[in-house]
Chains A and B, each alone.
Chain A
Amino acid sequence: MPADLRTKLGHVDLPNPILTASGCAGAGRELSRFTDVAKLGAVVTKSIMLAPRAGRPTPRMAETPSGMLNSIGLQGPGIDAFLQRDLPWLLTRGARAVVSIAGSSAGEYAELARRLSDAPGVTAIEVNISCPNVEDRGTVFACDPAAAASVIEEVRANTRYDIPVFAKLSPDVTDIVAIARSCVAAGADGLSLINTLLGMAIDTATMRPVLAGLTGGLSGPAIRPIAVRCIWQVKQALPDVPIIGMGGVRTGRDAFELILAGAAMVSVGTVIFHDPGACDRILRELGDELARSGLERLTDAIGLAQQSADAVRLGARPRMGSRD
């Protein structure tokens, strides 16, 4: 019997846990030529801002071992064009839309949340807080518990009550659990982890940085172990908070790994560039993985590795954070 893949995005039921990762599937239209977007758990859109944005100069990417660096700089059409063109398209296709938002001040996030709450058909909001705060010398919201909380508070307060708000965390912090706690205390219904890690590449032939923006976000299978660790730590600290896991998922096995660590849903990002049909394939493979493991329901697998680990330790507190 095929496994039951249904899962919950906050209080919203999803037919399956496979989502696209923000920035890796546009607003779904281009990808729909390779994947039936209505069959996915949801499409998570490219982070949208208030105004149109041109992004960073090119070159914007560098291939790295089992990964890539990107410095797109949140290029996008702005919320007006998104609401006029992109969101309706997703809805007519029967896709569930998780809208990712980004801003440079808490007020901008609040305004975006208001605009989305007025629009019909938004399944959830994912708040990309890996953005510099222009009101605080450009420090990244996601790197400071108080700044992260201020954004989430604003978004939650301005979002319709029935739209879940997920805070997307950066792994580039010393204590991701502290940020997670502070976002949940501020009203986040769930957490998305992880965003890219800051990296850099230098072209040894030209002896200059490869990216015009100098630094970029590292993604792809190279970062998967970091995603597993972050999800594990946060799930352990906040067992009741739903997690969208992401970072280097390439196969159904990889998705299963993130679920066992504690994710209730899994976003597929960079691997879409390699295989535009990846989401369909990973969903199929995940079903096979579950069937093989003897689990009847996906929900039974969420965080299962934590329970087994605890059982082995006979209640001993795992020493998280140590590298030995």
Chain B
Amino acid sequence: MTAADDAAELAPAQVAGPVLSVRQVDAYHAMAVVAPRIARGFRPGQFVAVAVGGPDTSMLLRRAFSIHDVRADHGGTVEFVFAARGPGTRWLADRRPRDVIDITGPLGRPFPLPRDCVSCLLIGGGYGSAPLFPLAGKLRARGCPVDFLLGAASADRVFGSLTARRTGRSATITTEDGSLGVRGMVTDALARVIHESRTDVIYACGPMPMLRAVTGFADRYEIPVFASVEESMACGIGVCMTCVLPVTGDDGVTRMVRSCVDGPVFRGQAVRWDDVGTIPFDALGAPGWRPPEPADPPQAQPDAQDGRRHAG
């Protein structure tokens, strides 16, 4: 993974951008917005945070969406894909071209890219596949073979299966109802895909249980996983501390880290998946946690002292 990628981090921007297009794609909406300052700095895995409800909205919190595509037209556009579920995403789905929306980005840390030519498996659950396509583009440009494994509850919730089939070296689709591809979950197909594609590294984005299962599985094969997590976010820019999860650092210490600025992409093996939603007892600053004391000098045993004295 190249350090240069991290160093090149560009400051995110807040942009009032006109909507270029809103398309219905199966169960999802794809919205493209003219936002040159966001498009320019974008690297795959980063996300945008969109204000919803208009200027006097009662919905104060921005909605986070992975960036699916950036294009050079109109000076730079970004596209994201979303499911209309609650009031904010429903409002967004009703926007029309030329409506102006307030959007911040590119936010968060991107997927790290391999230095060498390695076999990459890209795993997406539901709309989680959206950020994988620009990543696939970058990987292919470096000569890395790219395999896709996409899954969802049903065929209309698998995002991008056609693109995956067209552009991937291989593409495996799973649906829980069997309406497309293999019946089951991505983890059911994982072993076969890893063997057939001789996977060196996994990139995954989707629901937390999927990320946890994929990481657990990849661990057995000692394949590194880069997972893009989805935690509730109030600010998306690192100032509020709502979006934290327990991650173990290179120093072996577990910290509650912010997924908006330290993520959303983490080394899967560093995330303590079983403890997400809790404060692990050994996390830095957990209740009862004590700063490591400077090691006490070993208590000298009286007889040992005697021995020393005699020896001296």
Contact = CB atoms under 8 A, between A and B. Distances in A.
**A pairs with B:** yes
Interface of A: 23-26, 30-31, 33-34, 46, 51-61, 63, 65-68, 70, 72, 75-76, 78, 212, 220-221, 270-277
Contact of B234 (A25, A55, A273): A273
Interface of B: 11-12, 14, 51, 58-62, 102, 104, 231-232, 234-245, 255-256, 261, 276-279, 283-287, 289, 291
A279 to B, nearest CB: 12
A97 to B, nearest CB: 15
Contacts of A271: 60
Nearest to A65: B58
11 contacts: A26-B238, A31-B237, A33-B12, A51-B291, A54-B279, A58-B231, A58-B276, A273-B61, A273-B236, A274-B51, A275-B51
Nearest to B59: A63
A30 B239 contact: yes
A272 B239 CA distance: 9
Given A63-B60, A270-B60, A274-B60, A55 B238 contact: no
Nearest to B233: A61
Tell me if A's interface is mostly helix, strand, loop or mixed: loop
Contact of A58 (B104, B242, B289): B242
Given A33-B11, A33-B12, A59-B232, A275 B256 contact: no
A75 to B, nearest CB: 5
Contact of B14 (A23, A56, A76, A277): A277
Counting chain A CB atoms within 10 Å of each CB, which of B234, B238, B277 scores highest?
A: B234
B14 A274 contact: no
Contacts of A274: 51, 60-62
Contacts of B243: 58
A79 B166 CA distance: 54
A66 B291 CA distance: 40
Main secondary structure of the interface of B (DSSP, over half): loop
Contacts of B279: 54-57
Nearest to B107: A33
Given A23-B240, A63-B60, A52 B14 contact: no
B242 A31 contact: no
Contacts of B235: 272-273, 276
A197 B235 CA distance: 20
B237 A33 contact: yes
A78 to B, nearest CB: 7
A249 B61 CA distance: 15
A121 B51 CA distance: 36
Among B102, B240, B278, B287, which residue has the most Cβ atoms of chain A within 10 A? B240
B240 A72 contact: yes
A55 B256 contact: yes
B285 A78 contact: yes
Nearest to A274: B60
A67 B239 contact: no
Contact of A273 (B60, B276, B285): B60
A276 B104 contact: yes
Contacts of A275: 14, 51, 102
Nearest to B280: A54
Nearest to A31: B239
B239 A58 contact: no
Nearest to B254: A54
Nearest to B60: A274
Contact of B242 (A34, A54, A72): A72
A30 B241 CA distance: 12
Given A30-B239, A54-B283, A68-B61, 16 more contacts: A34-B12, A46-B241, A52-B285, A52-B291, A53-B285, A54-B279, A55-B279, A56-B279, A57-B279, A58-B245, A67-B60, A70-B240, A221-B60, A275-B14, A276-B104, A277-B14
Given A52-B285, A52-B291, A30 B61 contact: no
Contacts of B51: 274-275
A33 to B, nearest CB: 5
B234 A54 contact: no
Given A68-B234, A274-B60, A24 B285 contact: no
Contacts of A57: 277-279
Contacts of A212: 277
Contacts of A52: 284-285, 289, 291
A75 B256 CA distance: 9
A212 B59 CA distance: 21
A183 B121 CA distance: 61
Contacts of A56: 279
Closest 7 interchain pairs by CB?
Answer: A52-B285, A30-B238, A54-B285, A273-B235, A53-B285, A61-B242, A66-B58
A273 B232 CA distance: 13
Contact of B60 (A33, A60, A66, A78): A66
